[in-house]
């Protein structure tokens, strides 16, 4: 028997869905949302009904209904620290997201659980999330910062990176659990994860180090303090500047790497400097994670949409290939990874975790 699985990946102004028969795609669609319409909603969870109606309408247009599904899975968002892999969407998880409880950061990806639950209820099925953004329980040594009040948590593009790590290991005839990998996701935000024998043991979030097309990354704290206070910025102002109005966009007026490369090729020295500096900083981030593996790294993987750029991957590779071979696996395979994870759960190859209460399982 083949299973029909719906995967849902919500973003800030789009909802991507994919229908899979086992791991074979039936169709994928990107449902675009008008930015002005999104702004009318008082919170991210309040967008659920609007987005769910569009998901169901798209399914209907393709000739399918919830009653035909064998599984429903959504992207896991910015939830409290959790294990990698799948989680059952239960009432405790829904309450956390809807109430934006402590440990839950407002983000469109949190809608993955809400939308999966809504469709799954119509289908009479349990809903799941898989490889949440916050997945990965770091060893205590990796959580300590210079502020006792602030501890590091794992935030990275776990879904795509872990799927690419599994595929890479398979391609070289090994199990994911047998290799040590540093995986960099290169997109609008850049994040990295360290996978030691299949376990996520450290990460670099998109606000920790390298700047990216839209994000500031880490900056000198004293200068940043002056920057915020001198301009009288509010918390929302600061977050908006850090995430969405920094990086390439702030320097060049565009967050499109392809546009930046075109300018560079046409002799724009500023575009060349900023784009090369971004690659240099990503390379520094990669090398900074080597201690997590005690220097024993089997490969560095570059993935995500920007990994399609030959210039970007070459600039990074030449600075990090002394620590390990570099594999370029461009693109994002988040819908495929969601469907594959759900299939493993519903066929009994993998057991889903379950949150009992905030921060407890």
- The CATH number of whichever domain residue 107 belongs to comes to 3.30.420.40
Structural domain contains residue 356: no
Helices in 199-268 by DSSP H: which ranges? 221-230, 235-242, 247-252, 257-265
SS3 344: helix
Number of domains, the chain = 2
Q: What is the pTM of this model?
A: 0.86
> Same domain, yes or no, for 238 and 340?
no
pLDDT of residue 131: 93
Structural domain contains residue 145: no
Cross-strand bridge partners of residue 8? 17, 74
Rounded to an integer, what is the distance from CA 289 to the centroid of its chain? 18
> Same domain, yes or no, for 294 and 342?
no
pLDDT of residue 211: 94
76 lies in which domain range?
4-135+335-346
Q: CA 271 to CA 206: how far, in whole Å?
A: 21
Query: Which stretches in the chain have pLDDT values below 70?
Result: 357-361
Structural domain contains residue 141: no
Asked if 329 contacts 221 with a C-beta cutoff of 8 angstroms, the reply is: no
**Of 341, 332, 305, 339, which Cα lies nearest the Cα of 25?**
339
> Same domain, yes or no, for 168 and 313?
yes
> Same domain, yes or no, for 12 and 30?
yes
pLDDT of residue 358: 46
């Amino acid at each position: 028997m083949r299973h029909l699985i719906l995967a849902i990946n919500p973003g800030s102004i789009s909802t991507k869905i994919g229908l899979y028969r086992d791991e074979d795609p039936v169709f994928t669609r990107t449902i675009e949302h008008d930015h002005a319409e999104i702004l009318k909603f008082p919170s991210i969870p309040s967008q659920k009904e609007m987005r769910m109606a569009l998901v169901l309408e798209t399914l209907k247009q393709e000739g399918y209904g919830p009653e035909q599904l064998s599984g429903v899975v959504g992207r896991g968002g910015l939830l409290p620290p959790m294990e990698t892999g799948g989680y059952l969407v239960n009432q405790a998880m829904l309450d956390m997201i809807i109430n934006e409880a402590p440990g839950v950061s407002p983000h469109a990806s949190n809608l993955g659980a809400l939308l999966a639950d809504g469709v799954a209820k119509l289908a009479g099925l349990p809903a799941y999330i898989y490889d949440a953004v916050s997945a990965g329980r770091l060893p205590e040594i990796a959580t300590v910062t210079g502020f006792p009040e602030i501890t590091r948590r794992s935030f990275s593009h776990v879904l795509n990176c872990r799927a690419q790590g599994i595929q890479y290991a398979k391609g070289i005839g090994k199990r994911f659990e047998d290799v040590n990998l540093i995986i960099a996701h290169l997109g609008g935000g850049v994040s990295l994860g360290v996978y030691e024998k299949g376990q996520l043991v450290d990460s670099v979030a998109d606000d920790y180090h390298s700047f990216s097309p839209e994000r500031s990354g880490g900056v000198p704290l004293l200068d940043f303090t002056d920057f915020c206070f001198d301009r009288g910025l509010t918390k929302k102002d600061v977050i908006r500047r850090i995430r969405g109005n920094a990086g390439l966009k702030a320097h060049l007026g565009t967050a499109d790497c392809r546009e930046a490369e075109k300018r560079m090729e046409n002799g724009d020295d500023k575009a060349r400097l900023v784009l090369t500096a971004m690659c240099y900083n990503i390379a520094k981030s990669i090398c900074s994670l080597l201690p997590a593996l005690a220097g024993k790294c089997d490969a560095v993987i570059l993935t995500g949409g920007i990994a399609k750029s030959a210039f970007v991957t070459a600039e990074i590779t030449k600075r990090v290939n002394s620590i390990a071979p570099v594999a370029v696996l461009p693109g994002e395979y988040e819908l495929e990874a969601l469907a594959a994870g759900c299939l493993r759960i519903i066929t009994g190859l993998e057991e889903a975790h379950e949150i009992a209460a905030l921060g407890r399982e």
